[in-house]
Amino acid sequence: MSDKQLLHLVIGGELKSLEGKPEFRDLNRIDLVGAFPSYEDAVRAWRAKAQETVDNALMRYFIIHAHRLLDPDAQDDHEH
């Protein structure tokens, strides 16, 4: 595990459609779950929120690799 700080955001909301690129139905109702220091922590938060909303097919949560936005040339220490 690297000592380098990697910032991950977990967000979610109801999508307009399941087709095409994700587009939220209402940007004012985005659920900002939180910021996490590792991909593993972000996955745990993502999984918990996804399980809470499993009954709504249009409700989706995403992990945003915010450290890539802050430093686009940085490399992650994990593979997807």
**Burial (0-12, 13-18, 19+ Cβ within 10 Å), 10:** buried
pLDDT at 58: 96
Tell me what pLDDT residue 79 has: 43
Instruction: Find the angle CA(14)-CA(46)-CA(44) to the nearest 5 degrees.
Output: 165
Residue 49 backbone phi and psi in degrees, to 5: -70, -40
Do the Cβ atoms of 33 and 78 come closer than 8 Å? no
**Strand partners of residue 31:** 12
CATH for 8-70 is 3.30.70.2400
Interval 11-61: pLDDT, tens: 999 999 999 999 999 999 999 999 999 999 999 999 999 999 999 999 999
pLDDT on residue 1: 46
The pLDDT assigned to 67 comes to 81
Per the model's pLDDT, the better-predicted residue between 75 and 60 turns out to be 60
Residue-range domain boundaries for the chain: 8-70
